[in-house]
């Protein structure tokens, strides 16, 4: 992995937003369109705020989540709600949201429909990932019920996922879809996550699922 440390969180968020914007512009120049896949959770909000104001051809960008908690958008736990409020506003409101949630009791009920919506937008041009202290990324949690399947080279695009640490049921892009992205950035902050990502390099993917995407990733960190 490449590791980039920033002097502080503000510089991290601005610097990484700028890099993502450049890579999206380049993908649009070459392919005529781009796909940006992003995390939910507590860390990426400030990057979304910066990106949403960036001047680029957002009407040529498809935005999807790496994973979603199976809750509807009225829930503060909804990752879709986060990106609607913080990313798909301002200039970025012209982007197309590719859904990772649909109204149904269980993720299994909508898996095929949601995967069919994602497929035309693959491979991902720019992938931004988060990571938990437990070394999960997207919703690839250590100990999750379908982790082995999600890590395999012939995994489907999307899988439902349940894990004790996850809270509600989840839906997640598989490791191979994440790995196929043209640019991979992992955004982490704080000493605990830095120690976790360093430890992940010498652990099996089942214990440290983030390892599945580390090889070609740049990790962006600030205290
Ligand atoms: O549950 C999730 O957690 C990870 C990490 O979130 P953070 O709050 O520690 O930044 C996130 O990347 C993922 O998309 C989300 O669903």
- How far, in Å, CA of 124 to CA of 119, rounded? 10
- Contact at 8 Å (CB) between 184 and 44? no
Q: Which domain holds residue 185?
A: 2-222
Kindly state the tokens that stand for 202: 């010498």
- Contact at 8 Å (CB) between 85 and 96? no
For residue 184, the model assigns a pLDDT of 98
Q: Which helix (H) or strand (E) holds 127?
A: strand 126-129
Parallel, antiparallel, or unpaired for β 96-97 and 61-65?
A: parallel
For residue 18, the model assigns a pLDDT of 98
Give the number of domains in the chain.
Answer: 1
Question: What separation in Å is there between the alpha carbon of 138 and the centre of ligand 1?
Answer: 7
**DSSP conformation class of 124:** P
Atom of ligand 1 nearest to the CA of 131: 5
- Contact at 8 Å (CB) between 58 and 33? no
Atom of ligand 1 nearest to the CA of 170: 16
**Ligand 1 contacts CB of residue 142 (under 6 A):** no
The protein residue whose alpha carbon is closest to atom 12 in ligand 1 is 130
Question: What separation in Å is there between the alpha carbon of 40 and the centre of ligand 1?
Answer: 5
Q: What is the ipTM of this complex?
A: 0.99
For residue 15, the model assigns a pLDDT of 98
Kindly state the tokens that stand for 144: 């999750």
Strand order in the sheet with 158-161: 67-69, 170-173, 158-161
- Contact at 8 Å (CB) between 28 and 34? yes
pTM of the model: 0.98
Kindly state the tokens that stand for 166: 């996850």
For residue 133, the model assigns a pLDDT of 98
Kindly state the tokens that stand for 1: 């992995």
**Ligand 1 contacts CB of residue 67 (under 6 A):** yes
Kindly state the tokens that stand for 17: 């937003």
- Helix (H), strand (E), coil (C) string for 18-47: HHHHHHHHHHHHHHCCEEEEECCCCCCHHH
- How far, in Å, CA of 105 to CA of 194, rounded? 37
- How far, in Å, CA of 16 to CA of 162, rounded? 31
Read off the CATH number of the domain in which 140 is found: 3.40.50.1360
Average pLDDT of each block of 10 consecutive residues along the chain (223 residues)?
97 98 98 98 98 98 98 97 98 98 97 98 99 98 98 98 97 98 98 98 98 97 98
């Amino acid at each position: 992995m490449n590791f980039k440390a920033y002097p502080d969180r503000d510089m991290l968020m601005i610097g990484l937003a700028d890099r993502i914007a450049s890579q999206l512009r380049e993908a649009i120049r070459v392919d005529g369109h781009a796909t940006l896949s992003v995390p939910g959770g507590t860390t990426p909000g400030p990057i979304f705020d910066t990106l949403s104001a960036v001047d680029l051809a957002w009407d040529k960008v498809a935005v999807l989540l790496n994973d979603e908690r199976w809750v509807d958008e009225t829930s503060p736990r909804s990752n879709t709600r986060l990106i609607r409020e913080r990313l798909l506003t301002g200039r970025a409101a012209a982007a197309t949201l590719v859904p990772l949630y649909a109204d149904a009791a269980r993720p299994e009920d909508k898996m095929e429909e949601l995967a069919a919506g994602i497929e035309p937008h693959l491979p991902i041009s720019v992938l931004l990932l988060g990571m938990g202290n437990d070394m999960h990324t997207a919703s690839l949690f250590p100990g999750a019920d379908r982790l082995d399947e999600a890590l395999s080279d012939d995994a489907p695009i999307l899988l439902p996922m349940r894990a004790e640490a996850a809270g509600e049921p989840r839906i997640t892009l598989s490791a191979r879809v994440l790995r196929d992205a043209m640019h991979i950035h992992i955004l982490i902050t704080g000493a605990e996550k830095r120690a976790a990502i360093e430890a992940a390099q010498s652990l099996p993917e089942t214990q440290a699922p983030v390892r599945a995407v580390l090889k070609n990733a740049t990790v962006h960190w600030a205290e």
